[in-house]
Structure 1
Amino acid sequence: MPEGHTIHRLAHQVVRAFGGRPVGVSSPQGRFAAGAAVVDGVEVRDAQAHGKHLFIGFDGRRWVHVHLGLYGTFDVVAGPPGPVRGEVRMRLATSDAHADLRGPTACEVLGEAEKAAIHARLGPDPLRGDDPAPALERIGRSRTPVGILLMDQTVLAGVGNVYRAETLFRAGVDPSRPGRTVPAPVLRAVWDDLVGLMATGVATGRIDTVRPEHEPEAMGRPPRVDDHGGEVYVYRRAGQPCLVCGTPVRVGIAAARNLFWCPRCQC
């Protein structure tokens, strides 16, 4: 599932491609035909992200809400639209740009009140300039492992499996540790780290979390090869030596997701 930086990056791409112009909206697959008809030919005014939710704002205070889920993709392409390929739930199109949405969990037209209801159930987002206090206070009161809390979108929106593993490693926090046992300054440092790491992800389109002294060039090691891209400390590195201490990285399961950590650096 795409992490929050990907959705914020998509919001920027939508605004650059379609902002301020009427846009053709269709549903080649047919499953969004009624919704597409509501906003077809209407000017795109805005695009926003909150966590893993994308909202495309159209004139008339209507929003297309998209959640990609596990399998969805949304490709924004410069150039006139060509033939539809595959099962396209929604296509946005102008004479010089188009975007095809495939396989989302959600694609629906919402009014302001419905959009506000989604925001209300999500936690603060590190990329929106949100106040982190509600998330940090909730984590600080909880007996639930911090590694699970960081993935709970009602606690903190936008963090996925990669950022969860990496920011806890960088903070030296065992992911199995109850949230209430993590000192408040450490939790605040985790939030601040997420703000910086995820902003870099928006800018580059990939997740890089290693510090300069652990980059491939600095360590004389080959670059990481992985379909997720980016240089990371523990994510998908089970059994490989920790880049800091050399201890084999471990993997376990938390909330039905793989969880990676270093048993020495995060003890």
Structure 2
Amino acid sequence: MPEGHSVHRLAKQFTSVFTGEQLAVSSPQGRFAAGAAQLDGATLLSALAHGKQLFLRFDNDRVLRVHLGLYGAWSFGGDATFRGASSIGAPRRIGESEQSADDGTGPAAYGGPPEPVGAVRVRLVSAHGWADLRGPTACEVITRAEENAARAKLGPDPLQPRPDGTEFVSRVMSSITPVGVQLMNQSVIAGIGNVYRAEVLFLQGINPWRPGRQLREDEALGIWTDTVRLMKDGVREGRIITTTVEARNGRPKRSAPNYVYKRTGEPCRRCGTPILRAAMAARTVYWCPSCQAD
């Protein structure tokens, strides 16, 4: 499932290529025809990400709310003025992915959007480009008031303009629920997924099963601080990289992207102990039993 940094990259891309544009909105698949009709011909005012949810705000007081879920993805294309990634999401069973749009397409080659491929739930078309949405968990047209209500149910987003960990620290430390479960709860912190959960807990040396009430305040704040840093890296790089940059031959280099995620049985990059895994909160959690001992 795409984690919060990917949704923020989507919001940035929509802001760059569609804001201020009158859009033709359709549902080639047909499942979203009624929703598309409410947006067709409206102008996109802004795009906002909160955690794993994207809110596209239009000038008719309507908002397109999208949650990509496990299989959702956006694909994009257009003329030379239409810059950005060609695909952001979780396409084709390969997990979270992003593909560059640097294919040399120019104005002479652009003749409008191509014929829809596959089950396109929503298609947005401007004078210069297009965007197709496939396979989302949630896709609905709501009002601005309903957007505010939906966002009020979410926890703080580490990628908000001025991230403050106070609310997260209070929420995570007030519960006996294991911290590894709480980090997957979008009402505690919005945007963290399975990769960030495993990696942040490793960096902080915290066992996933430790109850939130047993965290020290500095540990809870450390989780928040590392999450902010790593997710900002993800927005900049377009992928999740959590390992520290090492200098080799005078040049920065990472030996691998992650410390523990999907490294079951492999030696810990810090202590050499085999990495463990177990089911937690309907997903698989990874940790080092030595570096993250109770």
Q: Scaled by the length of structure 2, what TM-score is found?
A: 0.84
Question: What is the aligned partner in structure 2 of residue 185 from structure 1?
Answer: 218
Match of 1:99 among 131, 136, 139: 131
1:77 CA displacement: 2.6
CA contact (8 A) 2:204 2:219 kept: yes
Question: What is the aligned partner in structure 2 of residue 164 from structure 1?
Answer: 197
1:141 CA displacement: 1.7
Alignment of 1:105-184 (within 5 A): 105-128=137-160, 129-184=162-217
Question: What is the aligned partner in structure 1 of residue 267 from structure 2?
Answer: 241
2:292 counterpart of 1:266: yes
Structure number with the higher helix fraction is 1
Tell me which amino acid in the other structure corresponds to 1:259: V
CA contact (8 A) 2:244 2:254 kept: no
Count how many residue pairs are aligned between Structure 1 and Structure 2.
Answer: 258
Q: Distance in 2 between matches of 1:235 and 1:216?
A: 24
Q: Distance in 1 between matches of 2:279 and 2:48?
A: 32
Please, which moves more after superposition, 100-109 or 77-86?
Answer: 77-86
Question: What is the aligned partner in structure 2 of residue 227 from structure 1?
Answer: none
Q: Distance in 1 between matches of 2:41 and 2:151?
A: 27
Tell me which amino acid in the other structure corresponds to 1:104: P
2:229 counterpart of 1:203: no
CA contact (8 A) 1:135 1:155 kept: yes
Match of 2:227 among 172, 176, 194: 194
Tell me which amino acid in the other structure corresponds to 2:273: T
Alignment of 1:80-99 (within 5 A): 80-99=112-131
Question: What is the aligned partner in structure 2 of residue 48 from structure 1?
Answer: 48
Percent sequence identity over matched residues? 50
SS of corresponding position for 2:15: helix
CA contact (8 A) 1:125 1:156 kept: yes
Show CA shifts across 1:78-115 (max 9, x none).
Answer: 34311100000000112321111001111111111111
1:17 CA displacement: 1.2
CA contact (8 A) 2:245 2:254 kept: no
1:204 CA displacement: 1.1
Q: Distance in 1 between matches of 2:157 and 2:249?
A: 33
1:211 CA displacement: 1.0
What are the ranges of 5 or more consecutive residues in structure 2 without an aligned counterpart? 80-111
CA contact (8 A) 1:64 1:108 kept: yes
Alignment of 1:3-18 (within 5 A): 3-18=3-18
SS of corresponding position for 2:119: coil
1:69 CA displacement: 1.1
Check 1:42–1:217 CA distance in 2 against 1; reply closer, same or farther (3 A cut): farther
Deviation beyond 6 Å, 4+ runs, structure 1: 215-218
CA contact (8 A) 2:23 2:125 kept: yes
Check 1:108–1:216 CA distance in 2 against 1; reply closer, same or farther (3 A cut): farther
CA contact (8 A) 1:30 1:89 kept: yes
Q: Distance in 2 between matches of 1:206 and 1:63?
A: 27
Show CA shifts across 1:211-235 (max 9, x none).
Answer: 124x8989xx9954xxxxxx00000
Alpha-carbon RMSD across the aligned residues, in angstroms, is 1.8
CA contact (8 A) 1:51 1:158 kept: yes
Q: Distance in 1 between matches of 2:249 and 2:260?
A: 18
1:133 CA displacement: 2.1
Match of 2:282 among 227, 246, 256: 256
Please, which moves more after superposition, 85-94 or 124-133?
Answer: 124-133
